[in-house]
Chain A
Amino acid sequence: MTMLDSIPTMLATLAAAAPAESAPSPAGFWMPVGASTVAGDVDFTMDFINWVCGFFLLLVTVLMVIFVVKFRAKPGDAIRMGGPVHHTGLELTWTIIPGILSMAFFWFGFKGYLDMQTVPKNSFDVNVTAMKWAWNFKYPNGAQSEDLYVPAGRPVRLILRASDVLHSCYIPAFRVKKDCVPGRTTNIWFQCDFPTGLDVDAAHALRCAEYCGTGHSNMNRKVYVLVQEDFDNWVTKQANWLDEVPDSELSSIAGPKLYARCAQCHSLDGTPGIGPTWKGLWDRVNGGAGSDGKFTDGKGYKDIIGPGKEFETPEAYIEDSIWNPGKHVVAPFGNVMPTFKGQVNQRGAEAIIGMMKSLDQFDAKGKPIAK
């Protein structure tokens, strides 16, 4: 075994000798907090590349400064004709050494990547849908959330989809990232052994990393890592929250909670936004002022809502707009809204419509006004 062959083995031994972590690795000069099982390996590779590159940068800079200082022309200097103009040995040296080092980089990156690509069999699956400009996390029991909640100490697989344009799911603390591609399914997995609880400050950031327009930088959510028992409680409660809201308070309790998803584009007080404001919306669709408002295809509300028309009732129209937003687009707005089919069910739509009908009972942010 040559000296060079043994280097990876030596480094691997060093890495293995490190004690199992009992807490996330703290943020350093380069890398942020590292809280997943692959973070240690990624950070090690990063450090290795940094040291090698740092050495070469220093080498080039120091040689450059020395040569410039030493061989600087002074007035009256004769032109030196002494230096060699070719040296095969040197050329081979600086071809082969960078070649070997880059193969080492490749090897470490390749090994680390294999670990990231190989999803453990017992992973806990979460379906993720990215859309302009929100995340939807759907758990095996049907629960849904806008922040991500995962159990600690077991592999979690995120099955990534996008409903409109490209997005990218990035959790810096776990060193994972993958594009969410419309029409395709991709996935990433991670395991985090350190619970954060429901503390928003301890939770990790989840960001969108692929440019997706106006709200790209607002697709920031949190990742909460819960011990298994807490997670089970949370996910059970989360699955049933809408059903547990009493019918009489559906619009006042469930309405605002669902509206939080709509608030980026639809204002409640007439402020212009990416989509039509909800102020006066109910009157418009219900035959009141502005009911001849035009869609991009030239039709008005009156043409599609009413007995015998496309929608029997205004409620049916609104419900359908939540599920199939591209069917009738109100001018001058663009066809921007993603579908909420599978995320907002019949009962959720009822809550939203109830809220639209009684907007005077909410403030501009969607909070119920205390009676």
Chain B
Amino acid sequence: MSTISTASPAAAPHGGHTADENYLNCSRGFLSWILTLDHKRIGVMYTVSVLVSFLVGGIFALLVRTELLTPGPTITDSAETYNQWFTLHGAIMVFLVIIPSIPAALGNFILPIMLGAKDVAFPRLNLFSYYLWIAGAVLAVTSLLMGGFDTGWTFYTPYSTTTTAGGVIPVVVGVFILGFSSIFTGMNFIVTIHKLRPPGMTWFRMPLFLWALYATALMQVLATPVLAITLALLVVERSLNIGIFNPDMGGDPVLFQHFFWFYSHPAVYIMIVPAMGIISELIAVHSHRHIFGYKFIAFSSIAIAMFSFLVWGHHMFLSGQSGLMNVMFSFISFSVGIPSAVKIFNWLSTLYKGTISLNTPMLYALAFLFLFTIGGLTGMHLATLSTDVHLHDTYFVVAHFHYVMMGSALIAMVGGLHHWWPKITGRMYDEKLGMIACGFVFVGFNVTFFTQFMLGSQGMPRRYYDYAAEFQTYHVVSTIGSYIMATGFFMTAGYLLHSLFHGRKAPANPWGGRSLEWQCASPPPHFNFDETPAVGDCYDFSVVKWDPKQQGYYVDRSADPEIAKAEAERGHMHM
């Protein structure tokens, strides 16, 4: 019988084969990184880039919150400057941080290892995706040097085609290119999951993180081209004065909104579905308990991916589109809520009779459950037509999507980062500091954004530089919350960086996971596995044993008859 240890794993496992060579030290030098085809190094480069962008986007968020401490001018007396801040905050967080954060950063690192593969199906395409991301980011910076942009992250026409801010075209081209980065990553993941699964891993033996990445990849490939076309049309209208969206030239601004949300609503799920995949892993592994309702969780990811294409019109209830369309979009929008509810209850049931290790990744998973429940439930107010009329374009919407995009997607990303940190870096971070920082983030987040629900339902529209005095108390509370949250994130950055140099060496399997990434060394060797290992049920933790010598867990592969069966089938195939 395996047992639980809450003692921190101490020394790394020495011995074993090729003990100290791993993907980090197998080759050296700057070029060995920027020209690497190794999915793990690309994943690390993505992670670093995304976290740097998160810092920049976060600084803009703090500037916005600080400006809103008082009505009228607080730290800038220019509404244009404020408009640029919130636009940059939104555009950076959506296009440079959240969309690539889980699939491109963590997914790139974990997906091939979970499959027991040596790399993704198309390693060169993978590196190309990364450079497209870099090109998009560089163009965004260029746009700042050309006068910035103040369109909001949604680029609504005709404002975006007529504003005098000089940086609109470079940033739109940048987002266009980022879209291709996203499409290529999605294609790569679809092919990898189809073709490179190990013996024994049928579709319903896949870790749920892979199901989530698969559903995400489908959406990336199907939806992102529409964004690309839309942005191309926008550039054509702005630079060549060809009327597509501007009524002065015979266009229709509502058409832009249809195009934009046809991508950007699925994009919301491109952000949240991989987060749900992480949460499935976190809750199962740290509860040491078979995930409850595997098939329902897997299918609900696919259901969300499908429904997400049918509900874009709920962003446009007040745009002047027909009342009948509003009624239909309202009706279909509720359908997305149901698979999300199914997931929440399945995760909750996984906790039941589990053996729950309350550590940092688990705390983030629990925070996710609470925050995502609020984020999901407040979607009800907005899908309901009569209440949406009042709440549309107010801070209620701002609060709602921050609960989903930040409180859920980014919190899951941070939880996943902690979960796989020992695997990625080979080091353990300080668990106690991790839990304290998670507390700061959780409390700060709720203080910041729960307040904004009231702010919105009381009638404060979004994207306001100046506001009525009656709203000030809410704004002050919200801003204080953002400082608490920032404290938590800076602490996190501090102890994670510290662990790189001074952290204890991590064992191969510090948490007791049993998917394949926990069955190779931490950090993994350059080619992950010498031979693709066969797998059984990746949520059957009965074969996970504690090894006091290594202060870590190991998967007793001989104890699982399914693995033996899969191995035998492979032998058969080889014959």
Q: Which of B20-28, B107-115, B376-384, B440-448 contacts A (4 or more CB under 8 A)?
A: B376-384
Say whether B344 contacts A113, CB under 8 Å.
Answer: no
User: Which single residue of chain B is at the shortest CB-CB distance from A178?
Assistant: B318
Residue of B292, B342, B352, B468 touching A220 (CB-CB under 8 A): B468
**Interface 0/1 of B523-546, CB less than 8 Å to A:** 000000000000000010110100
A327-341 Cβ-contact flags toward B at 8 Å (1 or 0): 000000011100000
Nearest CB on B from A264, distance (A): 11
Q: Are B463 and A216 in touch, CB under 8 angstroms?
A: yes
Question: How close is B245's CB to chain A, nearest CB, in angstroms?
Answer: 10
Contact B345 A182 (CB under 8 A): no
| Chain B 269-300 interface residues, beta-carbon cutoff 8 Å to A | 287-296
* Stretch binding the partner chain, chosen from A90-98, A123-131, A145-153, A305-313: A90-98
A3 at the interface (CB under 8 A from B): no
Task: Give A100 Cβ to nearest chain B Cβ, in Å.
Answer: 10
With both beta carbons as reference points, the residue of chain B lying nearest to A58 in the complex is identified as B373
For B384, give its contact among A68, A106, A210 (CB under 8 Å). A106
Stretch at the interface among A162-170, A232-240, A354-362, A363-371: A162-170
* CB of B495 closer than 8 Å to a CB of A: no
| Segment touching B, from A81-89, A279-287, A316-324, A345-353 | A81-89
Cα(A86)–Cα(B349), bound, Å = 9
Q: What's the interface size class on B, roughly?
A: 35 or more
A72 touches B152 (CB 8 A): no
Question: In residues 24-75 of chain A, which contact B (Cβ within 8 Å)?
Answer: 27, 29-32, 38, 41-42, 45-46, 49-50, 52-53, 56-57, 60-61, 63-64, 67-68, 71-75
The answer to whether A49 touches B380 (Cβ under 8 A) is: yes
Annotate B1-20 by CB proximity to A: 1 below 8 A, 0 otherwise. 11111110000000000000
User: Does any Cβ of A come within 8 Å of B330's Cβ?
Assistant: yes
Does A142 belong to the interface (CB within 8 Å)? no
Do A170 and B387 have beta carbons less than 8 Å apart? no
Flag whether B52 is at the interface (Cβ < 8 A). no
- Chain B CB within 8 A of A211 CB: yes
Q: For B352, list chain A residues within 8 Å (CB).
A: 67, 71, 83
A218 at the interface (CB under 8 A from B): yes
* Residues on B with beta carbons closer than 8 Å to the beta carbon of A52: 380
Given contacts A53-B378, A75-B7, contact A103 B334 (CB under 8 A): yes
Most buried by B among A78, A102, A336: A102
The listed residue (B5, B374, B389) touching A175 by CB distance below 8 A is B389
Q: Is B158's CB under 8 angstroms from A182's CB? A: yes
Q: Restricting to B111-158, which residues have a CB under 8 Å from any CB of A?
A: 150, 152, 156, 158
A213 contacts across to B, CB distance below 8 A: 83, 150, 159, 163
B331 in contact (CB, < 8 A): yes
Contact B80 A64 (CB under 8 A): no
Of B1, B254, B354, B462, the residue contacting A67 (CB under 8 A) is: B354
Known interface pairs A71-B351, A75-B5, A178-B320; A205-B468 also in contact (CB < 8 Å): yes
A245 to B153: give the CA distance in the assembly, Å. 48
Which residues of chain A have C-beta atoms less than 8 A from B558's C-beta?
none
Nearest CB of A to B257, in Å? 9
Asked if A86 and B247 sit within 8 Å, CB to CB, the answer is no
B64: min CB distance to chain A, Å: 13
B 363-391 contacts with A by CB, 8 A: 366, 369-370, 373-374, 377-378, 380-381, 383-390
Task: Please state if B4 and A75 are interface contacts (CB–CB under 8 Å).
Answer: yes
- Cross-chain contact B3 with A212 (CB below 8 angstroms): no
Q: Which residues on B sit within 8 Å (CB–CB) of A270?
A: none
Q: Which residue of A lies closest to B324 (CB)?
A: A117
Interface residues on A, range: 35 or more
Q: Does A229 make an interface contact (CB < 8 A)?
A: no
Chain A residues near B380 (CB-CB < 8 A): 49, 52-53, 102, 105
- Taking a contact as CB atoms under 8 Å apart, the answer to whether A105 and B334 are in contact is yes
Cβ of B36 within 8 Å of any chain A Cβ, yes or no, is no
Known: A32-B458, A67-B348, A209-B392. A109 touches B79 (CB 8 A): no
Alpha-carbon gap, A264 to B2, bound state (A)? 73
Instruction: Give a binary string over B330-357; 1 marks a CB under 8 Å from any A CB, 0 the rest.
Output: 1100100110011011101101111111
CA distance A74 to B7 in the complex (A): 10
Partner among A27, A68, A103, A172 whose Cβ is within 8 Å of the Cβ of B390: A172
A335 to B377, CA, bound (A): 43
B289 with A80: CB separation less than 8 A: yes
Asked if A186 CB lies within 8 Å of chain B CBs, one says yes
A-B contact pairs, 9 of them (CB 8 A): A45-B386, A56-B377, A60-B344, A64-B366, A86-B292, A168-B393, A170-B393, A209-B462, A212-B159
Kindly list the 4 A-B residue pairs having the minimum CB-CB distance in the complex, ordered from nearest. A183-B247, A112-B386, A172-B459, A83-B353
Q: Given A176-B389, A205-B459, list of 4 further CB < 8 A pairs?
A: A27-B458, A68-B356, A76-B3, A77-B4
Q: Which residues of B approach A to under 8 Å, CB–CB? A: 1-7, 79-80, 83, 150, 152, 156, 158-159, 162-164, 246-248, 251-254, 287-296, 318-320, 323, 326-327, 330-331, 334, 337-338, 341-342, 344-346, 348-349, 351-358, 366, 369-370, 373-374, 377-378, 380-381, 383-390, 392-394, 453-454, 457-459, 461-468, 539, 541-542, 544
